[in-house]
């Protein structure tokens, strides 16, 4: 692992995984609403949330999904990674007080293009709340060394 750039594509193998976890708070939802400008009442108003199929307020799906970005940017591949694509399936709601575990697992490495394809998943307890697949561009030791010459 390169401390400045995380894992270079040359060091990534199928099956590698990394994860992080965060307990979702009311403040997280309010701050995410401010940044995203998504102030949908289902996220912001408990009374309104009780009238929905969820029976109460729920966190933004993209708030939970953003934890996947944190794993990719901070752990695997880590600093220097560039997101190229992400598919997401939102399978269950996340509520205030839930601890979301975000995990990425390397599915394929395309070394010549510095691409890594990863399975992505967020869970609360044993329930999958989001699943999908990401493609990222990883850093390359070989390309850094060639550029330095």
Per-residue H/E/C for the chain: CECCCECEHHHCCCCCEEEEEEECCHHHHHHHHHHHCCCCHHHHCHHHHHCCCCCCCCCCHHHHHHHHHHHHHHCCCCCCCEEEEEEEEECCCCCCCCEEEEEEEEEEEEHHHCEEEEEEEEEECCEEEEEEEEEEECECHHHHHHHHC
**Residue 54 within a domain:** no
**Residue 67 within a domain:** yes
Give the separation between CA 42 and CA 29, rounded to whole angstroms: 11
**Residue 20 within a domain:** yes
Give the separation between CA 81 and CA 111, rounded to whole angstroms: 14
Determine contact, residues 5/139, Cβ cutoff 8 Å.
yes
**Residue 84 within a domain:** yes
**Residue 34 within a domain:** no
Domains held by the chain: number: 1
**Residue 134 within a domain:** yes
**Residue 108 within a domain:** yes
pLDDT of 2 reads 55
Domain span at residue 104 reads: 9-24+60-148
Give the separation between CA 43 and CA 59, rounded to whole angstroms: 6
Overall pTM > 0.85:
yes
pLDDT of 111 reads 96
Mean pLDDT per 10-residue segment, the chain (149 residues)? 76 97 98 97 97 97 98 95 97 98 98 97 98 97 83
CATH number of 97's domain: 3.10.129.10
**Residue 127 within a domain:** yes
């Amino acid at each position: 692992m390169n401390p400045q750039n995380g894992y270079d594509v040359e060091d990534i193998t199928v099956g590698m995984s990394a994860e992080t976890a965060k307990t979702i708070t009311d403040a997280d939802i309010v701050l995410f609403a401010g940044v995203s400008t998504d102030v949908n009442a289902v996220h912001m108003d408990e009374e309104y949330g009780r009238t929905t199929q969820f029976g109460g307020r729920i966190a933004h799906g993209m708030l939970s999904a953003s934890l996947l970005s944190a794993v990719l940017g901070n752990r695997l591949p880590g600093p220097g990674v560039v997101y190229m694509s992400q598919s997401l399936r939102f399978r269950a709601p996340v509520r205030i007080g839930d601890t979301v575990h975000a995990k990425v697992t390397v599915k394929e490495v395309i070394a010549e293009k510095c691409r890594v394809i990863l399975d992505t998943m967020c869970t609360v307890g044993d329930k999958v709340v989001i699943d999908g697949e990401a493609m990222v561009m990883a850093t390359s030791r070989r390309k850094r060394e060639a550029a330095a010459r």
